[in-house]
Chains A and B, each alone.
Chain A
Amino acid sequence: MSQFILALRFFRRDFRSGELRLLVLALIIAVAAVSAVGFFTNRVEQAMTLQANQVLAADLVLSSNNPIPASFEQQADMLDLNVAHTLSFPSVIVHQDQTQLVEVKAVSKNYPLRGDLRVRPFASANEEVVKHPPAPGHLWGEARLMAALNLQPGAQISLGESVFLLEKILSRDFALGNSFFRLGPEVLIALEDIPKTGLVTPASRVRHRLLIAGNQEQVKTFQGWATTRLPQGVRLEHLSSARPELRGALDRGSRFLGLAALVAVLVAGATVALSTRQFVERQSDTSAIMRCLGASQSLIFNVLIIRLSLLCLIASLLGIAGGWLAQYFLADLLSDWFGGALPPPSLWPILTGLGTGFITLLGFTLPPALRLGAVPPLRVLRRDLDAPPASTWLLVLLGIGAMALLMYLQAGDSTLAGWVLLGTLTTVGLLLLTAWLLVRMLSPLRHRGGALWRQGLSGLARNPSMTALQLTGFGLGILAMLLLTIIRTDLLDAWQKTIPEQAPNHFLINIQPSDVDNLGAFFQAQAIEQAGIYPMLRARLTHINDQPVSPDQYQDERAQRLVSREFNLSWSAQMQTENKIVAGSWWGGTNQQRALFSVEVDIANTLGISLGDQLAFNLAGVPIKATVSNLRRVHWDSFQPNFFVIGTPALLKEHPANFITSFYLPPGKETALAALVRQFPSITIIDVSAIMQQIREIMQRGSLAVEYVFLFTLAAGILMLYAGIQASREYRRQEAIVLRTLGMQRNGLLTAAAIEFVLLGLLAGTLATLCANVTGWFIATEVFGFQYNLNPWTIVAGILGSGIAIGLAGMLATWPLSIKPPLRMLQNG
């Protein structure tokens, strides 16, 4: 008979007899938690890419100073892609003899292909979201145009040979989000209006753009096709990154979710480890009989592995299905933020789910399962004989290996995985040590006190390996639950506090050096607090350690993008208070006279820049060279002006620069904004309150999503508790038979069980609480960059809650043994 068919038969029997129920449930929960988070983050990632494309108002943009050849539009049509056209050029608006230099953007009817436009019908009105550009004859202008010409919507203004109705105030055109350097405010008109303005002639300096969007695969096909056919002067632009503030918030949200799922996996792993022992113990008898009846070691092993694999496959598929269903609720939490349903998930999380199932099961089951083939057949005659114990090193290595792999896969961040793993290992080590000490300390104590006390203590001392297993299982479970409680409360709180109530909601850019002092005075007069006025220079990175850099050198798309565009550099003597040095040190004293750079740590990692590297930039044709003296962590969601690269004053001060600042404009103080526009017409104001609102929403919804994942952990925790209690069920059953036969009453049996399990719970709770707080502190400070405040309630709840919960669970599990007549228990085997 083929081993597979035999394994199938065994598997069917296992399933029917309920032998595998616990293992299956633990696996389903682990896989469901991982898959739900996996599907969800996958969808959010895709949505983020689409969101990022709002910056282009499309997925791809072809731009040129000449009309884009028609073949590109034809190809896009063939691929069923949407296209839109824009024309941009500088011109002059005239209103009652006053003129203002503006950036005219004429757009086709279906602009923007991605994202939307935000307008206000009048200055103090709320922002409205619109999907279509102005109708022919209408014009939308930015607020500073209004201020410069003292205009109100409804005014008639001239542009070239045509007169337009100034219909609305354009508060946001996402497609210009990154174009900080413009000559004047933007005005938006319909493309059909261009001929009657008479402004565009073949000789005009006009930027033509062909916008393309649609199915991502088709877009990629188009991109591939277009890249090889670009005529001279035509540029192909594409982006796949959101603004750093948004990306930062979403990244943190994903990390929190990943961490929550990781913790669910940790608890489920502990449950699998606990229930595996029970399963393997029962399999020892089967193996002994099979060997008696002529089965070889390899047959027993292969049959077991096939059964476990089948179990894993079924549990994983069920878990994946559960995760797939569960992520719908998660996705709903964020869908309206992304302006509709999230894109469907890819198949990748299915593989992650399957991987989680197999790693969890095999990591914890394989070492004890390997022993089953070696169960001596003589066990059928002598019950005390068992398989030679599995190598402790093998058990430890496989367990740790499985956990490490799971954590890395789940967290996708080696630092985070590293801290959680270190916390877990320390806890396991402490728990095992405590179990060892406990058993030794209990031996003298067992002979003192009342009968129930002695009985309760002997419950812990009777089987040292069982006590160690239970203490470790309970401890790990409690560690995970507490860690998640810390994440849910303290860390999420700290995250939400990163955007204080009065975080800057407006940025000012294009501040000329001559305006800096006046602007400072303006803020003072208006009693508005600003975040400091920082110089900003645009430069392109050309060399790292004298090696020229080019996009082709990098696999990473973000790195390619970063080296193909200009950076915003700044110079400063002091480091911004929100920044944190992660390597090297900030320049002080004489070091300010040296040529040094401070680089944001994420960009340094992306581009492979290390401390001590020499970077060269091209700053408007002037080469600049300096050494990296420190790496900084920047909280992009703090809404302070931040820079990827900052130089020493000595290095950059003499170069021409614009300045940037941010400030908080309280509601009701909009008049100050109008005054600012009037006094500093060349300064560009960017209102970030909407994006800030988006980030606050991400935080709120991220927190909700973490709560949601917490449910998985809770389910895994309850299951773990059950598995832990069940692990010693057989011992307790035999004891109960003897004790009740000898006359112990129900209360006595329950009290002895309570002593045993409350003691276990208190010990596991104390150690796990200690380790959870230490791990929480490391995660908060090292991974998220938050300050960690110890919450005394987690300590009280951790220790007392564990004692009570485990004590109660132990009593509940002993209850049936205390009410069944001993004879019936004996008869039932």
Chain B
Amino acid sequence: MTTDDNPEQPVVKASNITKQLPGPDGVLTILDGISLQLAEGEVTAILGASGSGKSTLLGLLAGLDEVTRGEIELFGQSLAGLNEDSRAALRAGKVGFVFQSFQLLPGMTALENVMLPLELAGIRNPAIGATEALEQVELGDRLYHYPGQLSGGEQQRVAIARAFASQPKVLFADEPTGSLDQATGSRIIDLLFQMREQTGAALLLVTHDERLAARCDHRLLIEQGRLEQTS
């Protein structure tokens, strides 16, 4: 991961992006002139205090929202001018997500939650791939449990299985250990890195967990919407 100097085709590339939102006292600048790249297989952590704009940056890089200025490329394709559907099509089957609040669908079993990206990608027999993914996160015996019947750690493991089930090229993780205790968080981090290594996906994670950040290839620090430091 570099700020702007990787000669290879990056998986994600942001050039001087700014995000502004209307606020009660006028326009609020959330992100200001950020540029970065994420190469294939790279692992990068975005660090920063609460409200620094980390999650907003992650959402923009994944194409979940539009920038106010600047340009983002995902898999070499500029997101500028793409509507929501075209951005969704670009993500389909190639992007995985892990969220702090797990974002599992409560009405679906663990297996069905993991099957969802495979179904959307049009993969035949999605249950086979989903079962394999759940076995990899050691939840082979919890296939038919609903999220409400699983512990926080187990729910995040289901989310990881869902994120990797479609063999994505890049995984976006937003505070993946934020809702978990330290011991469970450590196991989740191990699992995340283990799965990433198996699939070779690039990983961009937002965290303020220093231990997690220490395991990444690159670390970016955001303060008040600006990229202050990289390592």
- A contacts, CB < 8 Å to B: 1, 6, 9, 13-14, 17, 19, 282, 285-286, 289-299, 376-378, 380-383, 828-829
Contacts and interface: CB of A to CB of B under 8 A. Distances in A.
Of A6, A286, A299, A829, which is in contact with the most chain B CB atoms at under 10 Å from its CB? Answer: A829
Contacts of A295: 88, 92, 120
Given A376-B65, A380-B99, A829-B147, A293 B117 contact: yes
B154 interface: no
A381 B64 contact: yes
B108 A296 contact: no
Given A17-B107, A19-B107, A285-B105, A292 B148 contact: no
B106 interface: yes
Contacts of A17: 106-108, 146
A293 B116 contact: yes
Nearest to B115: A9
B64 A292 contact: yes
A70 B201 CA distance: 94
B11 to A, nearest CB: 16
Interface in B51-67: 55-56, 58-59, 62, 64-65
Given A17-B106, A293-B120, 11 more contacts: A1-B119, A13-B107, A14-B107, A17-B108, A17-B146, A293-B97, A293-B117, A380-B97, A380-B99, A381-B56, A829-B106
Interface string B99-121: 10101011110001000110111
Contacts of B119: 1, 6, 9
Interface of A is mostly: helix
A629 to B, nearest CB: 67
B190 interface: no
Of B62, B90, B116, B122, which is in contact with the most chain A CB atoms at under 10 Å from its CB? Answer: B116
B174 interface: yes
Contacts of B120: 1, 6, 290, 293-295, 299
Contacts of A285: 103, 105
B89 interface: yes
Contact of A292 (B91, B93, B106): B91
Given A1-B122, A293-B117, A377 B88 contact: yes
Chain B contact residues (Cβ within 8 angstroms of A): what range?
A: 35 or more
Nearest to B149: A828
B155 to A, nearest CB: 9
B39 interface: no
A1 B126 CA distance: 10
B12 interface: no
B84 A381 contact: no
23 contacts: A14-B107, A17-B146, A19-B107, A289-B116, A291-B88, A292-B97, A293-B120, A294-B89, A294-B95, A294-B120, A295-B120, A297-B84, A297-B85, A299-B120, A378-B65, A380-B64, A380-B97, A380-B103, A381-B64, A381-B99, A828-B148, A829-B147, A829-B148
Contacts of A828: 148
B88 A13 contact: no
Interface string B59-97: 100101100000000000000000011001111111101
Contact of A293 (B56, B58, B85, B92): B92
A410 B93 CA distance: 49
Contacts of A381: 55-56, 58-59, 64, 99, 174
Contacts of A380: 64, 97, 99, 103
Contacts of A376: 64-65, 84
Contact of A377 (B64, B112, B148): B64
Contacts of A282: 106-107
Contacts of A292: 62, 64, 91, 95, 97
A14 B103 CA distance: 17
A296 B83 CA distance: 10
Interface of B: 55-56, 58-59, 62, 64-65, 84-85, 88-95, 97, 99, 101, 103, 105-108, 112, 116-117, 119-124, 146-148, 174
A782 B112 CA distance: 57
Nearest to B99: A380
Given A293-B116, A293-B120, A294-B89, A378 B105 contact: no
B84 A291 contact: yes
Contacts of B95: 292-294
Contacts of A286: 105, 107
B194 to A, nearest CB: 22
A381 B91 CA distance: 16
Nearest to B93: A294
Contacts of A829: 106, 147-148
Given A1-B119, A6-B119, A290-B116, A296 B64 contact: no
Contact of B85 (A13, A289, A296): A296
Of B84, B94, B107, which is in contact with the most chain A CB atoms at under 10 Å from its CB? Answer: B107
A829 B121 CA distance: 29
A293 B89 contact: no
B32 to A, nearest CB: 19
A59 B45 CA distance: 89
B122 A289 contact: no
Contacts of B116: 289-290, 293
B174 to A, nearest CB: 6
A212 B119 CA distance: 65
Contacts of A290: 116, 120
B157 to A, nearest CB: 16
B201 to A, nearest CB: 15
Nearest to A295: B120
B58 A294 contact: no
Nearest to B60: A378
B207 to A, nearest CB: 14
Given A17-B108, A381-B58, A294 B103 contact: no
Of B56, B58, B103, B121, which is in contact with the most chain A CB atoms at under 10 Å from its CB? Answer: B103
Nearest to B86: A296
Contacts of B84: 291, 297, 376-377
A285 B101 CA distance: 12
A294 B91 contact: yes
A376 B88 CA distance: 11
B56 to A, nearest CB: 8
Nearest to A291: B88
Nearest to B65: A378
A14 B94 CA distance: 27
A198 B128 CA distance: 97
Nearest to B87: A377
A586 to B, nearest CB: 67
A6 B105 CA distance: 16
Contacts of B89: 294, 296
B114 to A, nearest CB: 11
Contacts of A297: 84-85
A384 to B, nearest CB: 12
B123 to A, nearest CB: 8
A282 B105 CA distance: 9
B66 to A, nearest CB: 10
A381 B99 CA distance: 8
Contact of A294 (B65, B88, B123, B124): B88
A61 B122 CA distance: 68
A299 B120 CA distance: 9
Contacts of A382: 55
Contacts of B85: 296-298
A289 B105 contact: yes
B112 A293 contact: no
A289 B147 CA distance: 15
A293 to B, nearest CB: 5
B148 A13 contact: no
Contacts of A298: 85
Contacts of B103: 285, 289, 380
A293 B91 contact: yes
A370 B222 CA distance: 38
A285 to B, nearest CB: 7
A14 B108 CA distance: 8
Contacts of A6: 119-120
Going nearest first, the 3 A-B pairs with the smallest beta carbon separation are A294-B92, A17-B107, A296-B85
